[in-house]
Structure 1
Amino acid sequence: MVSCPAWLVAAPASGHGKTTIVAALARLHTRLGRRVRVFKCGPDFLDPQIHALVSGAPCENIDLALCGEDDARWRLARAAEQADLILVEGVMGLYDSQPSGAELATRLGLPILLVIDASAMAGSFGAVVWGMKHYRAGAPIALALANHVATPFHAELCQQSLPEDVAWAGSLPRDGAAALPERHLGLNPAAEITDLVTRLDRLADALAQTPAAKLPPAVDFAARPAPTFPPLLAGKTIAVARDAAFCFIYPANLECLAALGARIEFFSPLADTLLPVCDAVWLPGGYPELHADVIAANGAMRSALQAHVAAGKPLVAECGGMMACCETLYDLDGRAHSMFALMPGVTRMQKRLAGLGLIAAALPEGRLTGHTFHYSTLECPLAPFLQAEKLAAPGGEAIYRVGRLTASYAHFYFPSNPAAVARLFG
């Protein structure tokens, strides 16, 4: 058994400030010399980039549906062996998704710091806290923080409204200079926010004056060894796209490939003209629509990828990676951009969300879980190879195969079935 102070930071809904509070807490405690490990509940690539930069350590995802309870438990226990503080950012609202953040906190024994945007309420702050605490079987909410308050008196009204079984975590004023910029898929990638640390220092300074700055109670985590895998990818080199256009990568996926024995070589489809010498390629998701002109102009990379596929070598393309594999991408202005043309089809960006949810795909190689989240649509003459099904809602996502190319809007969580991943890339 190993113990470490830990919070799960949650909210009634998205948009209340979970990410900024978690990042500011991580910044505050790292400035004090503490080792902080941050986790993100649910499928997310953008918030973890911010948390990783601030904490100085990879931000891993834990989720009962996407990753599984065993996966979450051993990752938390591994972090607790070396960390002085563990922070887990919840997903959406505390009771959203199935299983919810509330269930994860209850099962894993994580106390909850509840963050509420109090900008449009005062006495109702306590009513929301009471409802979140006592809804259904209740959740282990210990503290509540009032975010975006207007004045000290506004904060005082919120504090006075709290139920007796939830402590006051303090308040933060609305501060436009500290807000994090965002676009259609969420917050901007951390690398694009040039003054990120400055913004978070402002929030950390404000948090330092609140009860939320104190270390939370220690949580006991049962020590568990990391799972071991046979070296099914030993001797294989996998070229992984990683740049501003292809940046949606779970740290656990890279760790899984390495544990299977693969050698990982990163490359940039934007800047490079050649692929690394490799046995397989992974094109993860990201923002090809924001870099479509550069992709269209990189004819050498297009030829290299086409030669890779023509040689019968595996290529896995996820969401933005699949968009880049198609023939043409139409941006929001209706302009057409040539892509890598590894499969027939056209993708079109739109302002309306086109796909969202956890999925599972019964591939011939094995079942993999993952998620989908995209604003583009695909027009493809190919019949889908199979359909990935949503876990908690109707619908799903088509998966396409062209030779050893496997492409879909799905983002897969590789540790959900490492043997399947080995067969997919091997």
Structure 2
Amino acid sequence: MSGSGNAAGPDRLVRRLGVGDAVVIGLGSMIGAGVFAAFGPAAAAAGAGLIIGLVIAAVIAYCNATASAQLAAAYPTSGGTYVYGRERLGHRWGFVAGWGFVVGKTASCAAMALTFAAYAVPGPWWVQRIVAVLGVVGLAALNYRGVTRTAQATRILVACTLTTLAVLVAGIWLGGHASPDRVGGWDALTTGGAYGILQAAGLLFFAFAGYARVATLGEEVRDPARTIPRAIPLALAITVVVYLVVGLSALFAAGPELLARSAAPLAATVQAAGVGELAPLVRVGGALASLGALLALIAGVGRTTLAMARNRDLPGWLAAVHPRYRIPHHAEIAVAAVVCVLVLTTDVRGVIGFSSFGVLVYYAIANASAFTQPAGQRRWPRALNVLGVTGCVVLVAALPWTSVVAGVVMFGLGLAGRAVVLHRRA
């Protein structure tokens, strides 16, 4: 199933993305998800220990990124670990991965839409919900015009986000209010205990999971065997550096308690740092970053939905590819509709934990799939796959119990539904 040709039939997507585009889409999927949303729940779980959690999440994310890159080079088609699980472990494991990704990342879309609204409209909650829905509809319409439009828009949004974060960090340290004393010394790093730190790592993993968006777009990447293994680790490395710098700056400026209380933690950070005049810029940057993540997320979920529909693991009408724009238009419309419902009925912190559950299961299967690849397809040692599986399982167990229960129910419903469908076909 490997290959990198550009030929496309009426039901196939077109290879239009190079290394730069792929890196930008990965950055757009990550930067924004973590910096502007996940630090709050992580601080509530571990206090200043969120920094340790961030490092743990980054290590596990690296294991997952290398596994995804290695698999995507061998299977350059839409669907990501859904396809890899089917090819390497069997159809049932592929379904579990695909179901976890589609449901978990649909929840991520809702989290990003709500984060966008929290930064863009610091007004009544009902106004924020309406603005979030409008954002989802607008980006779904943009995605409908084709993946090159998605890459171009993401490039602009990522540039705006990185500029905003650079100004934010400079303002924090030049404002004179940032100090390690706000963290409380070295002992404060462990006040949340091992469980709190691992829970923070699981919640912050939500912030890293966008690197594999490149893999889910594998059918639209030029020379995937070369492009994907370069783009995924590069996008992850840039994101880890940005997260560490911003995370430490926010802790030194605001302290873990203020971060834990705020729905827009970086906006609260600039106020605490004595540079409140930067608050409008941070709100604009947070809104743009969330839009960039949401844009890439909708594209990634749509492609996995397309792959599952092609194999009849989801309704067949979701496999339609637009004859002009060459995108899975039915899948993306369905995803946008579900996200709008979630935006109107959920909150950011709840969907972050739920999303992390589904996506950690997805990457555990990715690592297990990569472990089975033969020597000719391997680019990284199998030890990373073992560490990745172990890390994903540990972080799943450490998530808030409500997220664990919701995740187990979600997978149970998916597998039960699939069993019914297979029984009817038989």
> What TM-score bracket applies, with the shorter chain setting the length?
under 0.3
Which structure has more helix as a fraction of its residues? Answer: 2
Which structure has more strand as a fraction of its residues? Answer: 1
Which structure exhibits the higher relative contact order, with contacts defined as CA atoms closer than 8 Å and separated by 6 or more residues?
2
- TM-score, scaled relative to structure 1: 0.24
Larger Rg: 1
- TM-score, scaled relative to structure 2: 0.24
